[in-house]
Amino acid sequence: MASKTTAVRTGSVNVPYGHIIGSEKWKGSQIAQGIQGKVKLILEDGLGVVDFHLSNRSCVLYISEADLVAGNGFKRRLACFRNAFNLQGIVIVEKTPISDQYFPAVQKFVVLELGMTLLPVANQGEAAQLIIQLLCEQMKDRSSNLFLTKKPPKLLEASVFQTVQQIPGVGKTKALLLLQHFGNLHLLCNASVPELEGVVGQSLAQQIHAFFTQTK
Amino acid sequence: HMSAPASSSLATRLFSGSLKNENALCILADSREIASGPDVISTLKAVHGIKVQVCSLGGCDYIVSNRLAVERKCQAELLSYGHRSKVAQKVQQMKSKFDRICIIVEKERLKAGDTKRVFHRTKQYDGILSAFIRSGIRVLFSSCQEETADLLKELALVEQRKKVAIAVPTEVERHKQDVLRFYLSIPSVGYPLALALCHSFTSIKEVANSSPDKIAACTQVSQQKAEEVYQYLHYGFDAQMLPETIP
């Protein structure tokens, strides 16, 4: 279980798999209630500037509508986090009709200046659902992520075939002949006019050679 | 329509001599964006004074630096399960060409007579945002096309500060257009790298005979990217491995 010292000092909190560790101040809130139904939430004090720890590597900082309206206090909090932690910080911000006007400036600060992640929500209920999804994603195997899945090593034949057809005057038939004869693009690029003439006609051989060697 | 923005930017460049101005920001926009994001392009040009080169990027909406590609996605597209595989495919394609990817989630414009639509946040929406974040894709939120333009400018400025801005001329002389297309057909080569190859090497033959180190040094791409280009040029073609249905 996490130590009682402030997270700013310890750097990270030990989060049991599939659990969320939240700051004591969220006790009884809509956000805590929203999470508790689905995921085990442990509330502790002394988390410092962090609101929720999702894993040993990532955590959530919550900025409410009131924080935004109150001024720049939240900026100090985020900068403090950025300097103290080596964790992925996800900032969730309440974007409501009242706080909407502040959003573009907050986004510039959080994403472009601090290089952290920012996600807008309309209320605490939405935040709870989003936090659950963030946790689900982190619990998944990396290979099941839609955008991380590595495709099996691709055969490049079709691409190389396409590339050769970018040479003016070369269509599918000539491209295949050239590749079968020269084997790869490097050798094709270095072929002399007589060598090319052995595969294609005289004028095309000159045209191909000119295409590869033409200078500015 | 398609050629208008390109030729006008060429004209501005010729007459203002901004080519010499190394600090001029440059953003590449896909030609489809003329129809789908006209206010993004006009705001970039008119309000922010950025040089926007419209070209066929085939795969992403904007390129703001040598390594960063940006895709505009409307909020509604991320709400339902149906678009998932399409978005994933697009991202995979961008990843093969660019080191960094940013998605701008833009609120759709209300059509005339449309009553204000309420945004119903779905589990699917939260799930796809979580997946973006996990895989290191940067996500930004925009309420309109003008705001998207502002975000693109900010991204380009950050990239410029990190010295990865697009610094080579974005136009290619007519007789070099075929050479550009040749480079663009290499799977790992994005538009800025193809331009850099066109402008930094005297011929395709010179590229083919260059080491990965030299390719990296001349075009300012990562060593890994340069290796990929080198491997591709030396890839042994086997006609038997050619798929039966050739794209």
Encoded tokens for A207: 């045209």
Between B84, B130, B205, which is nearest A134 by CB? B130
- Look at the pTM and tell me if it is higher than 0.80: yes
From chain A, pick out residues whose CB is under 8 angstroms from the CB of B129: 119, 130, 133
Q: Report pLDDT digits (tens) over B38-92.
A: 999 999 999 988 999 999 998 899 999 999 999 999 998 898 888 888 898 899 8
pLDDT attached to residue A2: 40
Q: What is the DSSP string of chain B?
A: --HHHHHHHHHHHHHH-TTS-TT--EEEEETTHHHH-HHHHHHHHHTT--EEEEE--SS-SEE-SSSEEEEEEEHHHHHSGGGHHHHHHHHHHHHHH-SEEEEEEEPPPPPTTPPPPP----HHHHHHHHHHHHTT-EEEEESSHHHHHHHHHHHHHHHHHTT-S--S-S---GGGHHHHHHHHTSTT--HHHHHHHHHHSS-HHHHHT--HHHHHHHHT--HHHHHHHHHHHTPPP-GGGS-SS--
Q: Report pLDDT digits (tens) over B94-119.
A: 998 999 999 999 998 776 666 666 77
Closest chain A residue to the Cα of B246, Cα to Cα: A158
pLDDT band at B171 (very low <50, low <70, confident <90, very high): confident
- Cα separation, B240 vs B236, in Å, equals 12
**Gap from A96 CA to chain B (nearest CA, Å):** 12
CB contact under 8 A, A119 and B139: yes
Selected residue of B130, B155, B157 to mutate for chain A interface (largest A Cβ count, 10 A): B130
CB contact under 8 A, A214 and B123: no
From chain A, pick out residues whose CB is under 8 angstroms from the CB of B92: 147, 149, 151
From chain A, pick out residues whose CB is under 8 angstroms from the CB of B130: 130, 133-134, 136-138
The chain-wide mean pLDDT, for chain B, equals: 87
pLDDT band at B16 (very low <50, low <70, confident <90, very high): very low
pLDDT attached to residue A9: 39
Q: Report pLDDT digits (tens) over A136-145.
A: 998 888 888 8
Encoded tokens for B109: 């414009």
- Cα separation, B204 vs B207, in Å, equals 5
CB contact under 8 A, B205 and A129: no
pLDDT attached to residue B124: 92
B213 part of contact set with chain A, CB < 8 Å: no
From chain B, pick out residues whose CB is under 8 angstroms from the CB of A208: none
pLDDT at B204 over 80: yes
pLDDT attached to residue B38: 94
From chain A, pick out residues whose CB is under 8 angstroms from the CB of B128: 146
From chain B, pick out residues whose CB is under 8 angstroms from the CB of A215: 202-203
Q: Report pLDDT digits (tens) over B132-158.
A: 999 999 999 999 999 999 999 999 999
Between B154, B207, B232, which is nearest A156 by CB? B232
- Cα separation, B209 vs B137, in Å, equals 35
Residues of chain A with pLDDT under 50: 1-10
A129 part of contact set with chain B, CB < 8 Å: yes
pLDDT attached to residue B18: 41
Average pLDDT over residues B164-187: 90
A179 part of contact set with chain B, CB < 8 Å: yes
pLDDT band at B31 (very low <50, low <70, confident <90, very high): very high
From chain A, pick out residues whose CB is under 8 angstroms from the CB of B180: none
Residues 90-109 of B with CB under 8 A from A: 91-92, 95
pLDDT at B34 over 90: yes
Regarding an ipTM greater than 0.90, the answer is no
CB contact under 8 A, A212 and B186: no
**Gap from B92 CA to chain A (nearest CA, Å):** 7
Q: Report pLDDT digits (tens) over A114-152.
A: 999 999 999 999 999 999 999 999 888 888 888 886 666
A148 part of contact set with chain B, CB < 8 Å: yes
pLDDT band at B7 (very low <50, low <70, confident <90, very high): very low
Closest chain A residue to the Cα of B144, Cα to Cα: A104
